[in-house]
Amino acid sequence: MQINEYIDHTLLKPTATPDHIITLCDEAKQYEFVAVCVNGCYVTLAKEQLLNSEIKIASVIGFPLGAMATNAKVFEASQSVLDGADEIDMVINLGLLKAKAFKTLEHEILEIKKEIGDRVLKVIFETCYLTDTEIKIACKLSINAGADYIKTSTGFGSGGATFDTVKLMKAEVKDQLKIKASGGIKNTTTAKKYIDLGVSRIGTSSGIQIVLNPQ
């Protein structure tokens, strides 16, 4: 696979306008990225722009804090699918994880997966706020709940993906789940190292730079 086939071309800034999303989709078509990742309000627009292409649309849920009510997250996921999302990137409830409310957290992931059916579910951990033990637990909960991917970061936390964190996640899930690395990945060398570590997706707003300026 070429590196562009790993990239979720991402624009989640709160100031993103419809014109920015149209540009994002045009870039995704030009560079043949695997997906675009957008906020829920822009799923319909992205769907229109990517009509007759194979590029997937990922919508973020509970973004970026993960602290919304479960019913709100489920509804948000349902609406995104209705609007045309192929994939859902949901943020877990970090407070519940730290409070060891593991059954509640697993139930939330399960309910969202149930709502979206055979569409891809990526579970965002926001690993910069978690201990290694908490990351391992989040991996197990994601497996139990039927997720498809685990994902390192929103890109809005105090830190993004790290090689050590991805190694830890990979050791825990092995081949049971795929991994998406995101947050701070801005060059080809870094992206390729994550791929070598076993990630299946790279979430980045620097996809063009990664493809055009190998270093």
User: Is 151 part of the annotated catalytic residue set?
Assistant: yes
| Cβ pair 63, 154 in contact under 8 A | yes
Angle of helix 163-173 versus helix 132-144 axis, rounded to 10: 40
Q: Which helix (H) or strand (E) holds 10?
A: strand 7-11
Catalytic annotation, pick one of 8, 86, 89, 148? 89
Catalytic annotation, pick one of 56, 73, 122, 151? 151
What lies within 8 Å, CB to CB, of 129 at 6+ separation is 94, 157, 158
Catalytic annotation, pick one of 56, 73, 113, 180? 180
Cα dist from 130 to 86, 134, 153, 154, 184, whole Å: 28, 6, 11, 13, 17
User: Is 73 part of the annotated catalytic residue set?
Assistant: no
The C-alpha angle 15, 61, 50, rounded to 5 degrees, equals 70
User: Is 180 part of the annotated catalytic residue set?
Assistant: yes
Angle of helix 188-197 versus helix 163-173 axis, rounded to 10: 20
Measured in whole angstroms, the distance separating CA 14 from the mean position of its chain's CA atoms is 17
Identify the burial level of 69 via C-beta atoms within 10 angstroms of its C-beta, where 0-12 means exposed, 13-18 middle and 19 or more buried. Answer: exposed
The catalytic residue positions are 89, 151, 180
